[in-house]
A and B are shown apart, each in its own frame.
Chain A
Amino acid sequence: MSTVLRHLGVSLFDSFRDLLPIIAVIAFFQLAVLRQPLPDFVDLLIGTLMVVIGLSLFVYGLKVGLFPIGEAMAYDFARKGSVVWLLLFAFALGFGTTVAEPALIAVAAEAGEIARAGGIIEDSDDAEQGYATGLRYTVALSVGIAIVLGVIRIIKGWPVQYLIIGGYIGVVIMTGFAPPEIIGIAYDSGGVTTSTITVPLVTALGVGLASSIAGRNPMVDGFGLIAFASLTPMIFVMGYGMLV
């Protein structure tokens, strides 16, 4: 018990240190540049305290919960030796964690608004909603495919850069054909898909797979899943913009 408390104490301190830059930036701009007093100091203090506690709990949970389970899944799939089930799991993880991602829902809603304002779709709430939902499923599908591709790459030991550079070429070609209204959203959708819980799980899965397959190096082959998951949505969203 006392070691748990000591760990929590250390991680509380670490979290506070992680937060210091934000506090410094906000204080400097508020007091020195905008020259305004800090509003509601007590609220600010309580909020900051909650962020510190939250970050510490998260990092603790990461180490005892998310990382071990992600790795255990990887080891056991490698032992079972069934590639089909592993790929199915990879797809489910990518699709399932993205489709309900709040940041994606927000971006999709905005995209619906843009499409309506730009006259791409009919001027009705139904059409706007339908467009947003379609976009959401498109992105979730693309993340599922990305994780599957990434896992195949780890199994085969392909160098990550060929696939990523191929993806870049795909993005550039699609940019030439996609309607200009969708390009900004498409580029942004790559960054918003990977949530705070998905990242540790997917990272642990990749590293676990690379360490349990003979001939793979966890550093060279284990990372890269997130990179695929942030690249494919750009291509798929531009494709969606061209088709709809």
Chain B
Amino acid sequence: MNSLHSFLDILLATVWDVLPIVLILFGFRFLVLRRPLPNPGAVASGFIAVLLGLAFFLQGLEQALFPIGKLMAQQLTNMEFLGIAADQATEWRHYGWVYVFAAAIGFATTIAEPSLIAVAIKANQVSAGGVGTWGLRVAVAIGVAIGIALGTFRIVTGTPLHWYIISGYIVVIVQTLFAPRSIIALAYDSGGVTTSTVTVPLVAALGLGLASSVPGRSPLLDGFGLIAFASLFPIITVMGYAQIAEWMSKRGQRNTNE
């Protein structure tokens, strides 16, 4: 009964989120373009499916994955679990399990991220199968895993965020010079789509837990920044994926030529 109630709440909130989008779409469609909907029945059923789908998705996450994921983030960042005595100076080496957890949860949540699935489907259609949906998703997920693990390392060591981000930018710029032209826009996009419904709450819990347990860190100042890492590194790994794919196909061609 309780969960039905919260499901309805979530459904209502989702409808409320989607309402401005629907108003903008249909307002421009009917008032400016003055064109009827293509296949109105399908579009309507699609919107209803998206609404219901998101509501189920969020309710399920709230009920099952978020509580346990957040609890684990707290437990793993606990000094007692990590075996650090209160008077001992913190060293980044003590936090081994935190980095492993950060990478694993970053990878896993990205694979389940609905907006990334959407972009992967579209990229696969547009490239006529040239960009594999799984190839792209795994490349992005590896990027998020590296990003979040590095982000937790930054919180532990307390080094300034912008050093990492600016170095990441330099890598992106250098890669852009060498990557195949057709992947560049998609790679830049994959940075923004990775962090939404599934990843943000769990990663935020991890950052907050870590920043409040490491001595000398303030959750308000140091808890931020993980999302930035998670949106930067996929750009690097997606371009890397395209570069490796291009290199392999060139080598394959050379082998068949011989």
Contacts and interface: CB of A to CB of B under 8 A. Distances in A.
A177 B33 CA distance: 44
B101 A21 contact: no
Nearest to B197: A196
A92 B24 contact: yes
Q: Helix, strand, loop or mixed for chain A's interface?
A: helix
Interface residues of A, number: 104
A212 B200 CA distance: 35
B252 interface: no
A242 interface: no
B121 interface: yes
Nearest to B3: A46
A235 interface: no
A196 B196 contact: yes
Contacts of B53: 53-61
A69 B36 CA distance: 11
A200 interface: yes
Contacts of A66: 46-47, 50, 118
A194 B192 contact: yes
B228 interface: yes
B118 A199 contact: yes
B50 A65 contact: yes
Given A48-B60, A64-B46, A96 B117 contact: no
A187 to B, nearest CB: 4
Interface in A120-140: none
B49 A160 contact: no
B24 A22 contact: no
Contact of A53 (B56, B69, B230): B56
A197 interface: yes
Q: Helix, strand, loop or mixed for chain B's interface?
A: helix
Interface in B51-85: 51-65, 67-69, 71-72, 75-76, 81
A96 to B, nearest CB: 4
A13 interface: no
Contacts of A191: 191-192, 194-195, 200, 227-228, 230-231
A77 B33 contact: yes
B126 A218 contact: yes
B52 to A, nearest CB: 5
A159 to B, nearest CB: 8
Contacts of A21: 107-108, 111-112
A97 to B, nearest CB: 5
A50 interface: yes
Nearest to A181: B221
Nearest to B104: A25
Given A26-B65, A62-B118, A63-B121, A89 B225 contact: no
A215 interface: no
A160 B184 contact: yes
Contacts of B57: 50-51, 54-55, 58
Nearest to B78: A34
Interface of A: 18-19, 21-22, 24-26, 28-30, 33-34, 36, 38-39, 43-69, 72-73, 76-77, 80, 85, 89, 92-93, 96-97, 99-103, 110, 113-114, 117, 160-161, 164-165, 168, 171-172, 175, 181, 183-185, 187-188, 190-201, 203-204, 207, 217-227, 229-230
Given A188-B226, A191-B191, A191-B195, 11 more contacts: A58-B57, A61-B48, A66-B47, A68-B39, A89-B32, A97-B20, A161-B188, A185-B224, A191-B200, A196-B114, A220-B185
11 contacts: A18-B112, A22-B65, A22-B112, A47-B59, A53-B53, A60-B46, A161-B184, A188-B225, A218-B126, A220-B185, A225-B189
